[in-house]
Structure formats: C-alpha cells, structure tokens
Amino acid sequence: MEKSLGKKNIAVFISGRGSNLKSLIKYSNKKRSLFKVVLVISNNLNAKGLLIANKLKIKNHCIEYSNKKNFENQVLKLTKKYKIDLICLAGFMKILSSKFIRKFSKPIINIHPSLLPKYKGLNTHSRAIKNQDKYSGATVHIVNEKLDSGKIIIQEKVKILKKDKEKTLEKKILKIEHKIYPKAITKLLSNY
Ligand code: GRF
C-alpha cells in the first residue's frame, strides 16, 4: 500500500445481514476516517447488506459464486477498477483461494466472532457457552489461506454471563465488532 494523504479505498465483502458493513460506512463518513467504503461485493443476491449499500449509495455488485474461479476473476477486475487498497470481509461466507490472495497483493482482513485462535469456523457463540467459557469476544485478523488463522490485528473480549444464550451473546459481541472493525482498519492503515 502506498502512503498518501487521501483516504484509502476499501471494499467490503458480505453474504448476509451487513451490520458490520453499515457500521464501517458510518465510520468512514467521518472526517477523521483514514478510509472510505467505495465497493461492496456479495455472493448472495438476497444479502440484506446489499439493501444497506444501495440506501447509503455505495457501489455494489452481486457476483454468482457457482464457479469460484470466475467469481474471483470478476472480483479482481473490480478491485482494479475501484482502486481498492484493502479488502474487508464482513460476514462473507466463502473462502478466498490463495491464488486470489496472492494476486490481489494488498491486505485482506476479516472479523470473526470469537477470541481466536479459539473457535474458528461457525457457531462460535454456542460453542463458547457449551464449554462454559468465562469470556468470548471478537477478533479482526489478516486473511491467509487457512480459515480464521492469520495474524491478529485487534481482539476484544466480553464476559459471558450465566444467563447468556446464543442470541444475547451474539448481540453483545456484535456491539464489540462494530467498535473494533474500524479501529483495526485504522491501525492497519496507520502502519503503512
Ligand atoms: C459477524 O458476527 C462476523 O463476525 C461474522 O459474521 C457476522 C456478520 O454479521 N464473520 P453482519 O453481516 O456484519 O451483520
């Protein structure tokens, strides 16, 4: 990434609800933000996040995923067209190939609802509750070719209360996610 005075262009990849997308757009509209969300990519036409992108007037593309290679080639073209400096995965339910990661050649980061390296993959909240963990949380990390395994940028924890169910824990953690994702991007961009 080149150092410049302008804001960096980020692309957010989604598959569903898009609450992190919304919070990133909201943050990026602040004057002090080091980045702006210029592109949203979804693999799912029914992703609610696409409605958010449209409402907030962010360019968005839904790309058919049945052929991974095709999907990734189209995405690479778009990242060039929009001069993307950083890709942020936010509830994107597909795994990017190592070829894609290499070809994009700039950072790709992800937000995950657990205290990594604990609970990679799905159903993180129910696993934490089932194991009677005292804490859970959220992690923003660099994406590499292994699932939920790259270098951690920021992590924040939250107490799991006895009365917590999957839904209540999810709500608490989402609140943390919305706070730490912009923070992690800012931290990453400040180091370039
Ligand atoms: C979040 O919990 C994120 O950590 C995980 O998927 C969920 C996406 O939520 N990777 P949203 O679409 O941003 O609301």
User: Can you tell me which atom of ligand 1 is nearest the CA of 92?
Assistant: 10
34: which residues sit within 8 A by CB, 6+ positions away? Answer: 7, 8, 185, 186, 189, 190
Q: Is residue 182 in contact with ligand 1, taking CB distance under 6 Å?
A: no
Give this prediction's pTM: 0.96
Q: Is residue 137 in contact with ligand 1, taking CB distance under 6 Å?
A: no
The owner of tokens 């991974």 is: 68
Supply the pLDDT for residue 135: 98
Distance CA 37, CA 11 (A): 6
Supply the pLDDT for residue 191: 83
Of 110, 50, 39, 44, which Cα lies nearest the Cα of 80?
A: 39
pLDDT tier at 5 (50, 70, 90 boundaries)? low
53: which residues sit within 8 A by CB, 6+ positions away? Answer: 18, 21, 25, 40, 59, 60
User: Can you tell me which atom of ligand 1 is nearest the CA of 22?
Assistant: 13
Read off the pLDDT of residues 117-163 as tens digits, 9 standing for 90 and up.
Answer: 999 999 999 999 999 999 999 999 999 999 999 999 999 999 999 99
Residue nearest to atom 2 of ligand 1 (CA): 113
Read off the pLDDT of residues 20-75 as tens digits, 9 standing for 90 and up.
Answer: 999 999 999 999 999 999 999 999 999 999 999 999 999 999 999 999 999 999 99
The owner of tokens 């609970």 is: 119
Using the predicted structure, report yes or no on whether residue 19 has a pLDDT greater than 90: yes
Distance CA 108, CA 103 (A): 11
User: Crossing angle of helices 19-28/48-55, nearest 10°?
Assistant: 20
Using the predicted structure, report yes or no on whether residue 171 has a pLDDT greater than 90: yes
The verdict on whether 112 is a catalytic residue reads yes
69-75: list long-range contacts, CB under 8 Å, 24+ apart.
71/43, 72/96, 72/97, 72/99, 72/100, 75/41, 75/100
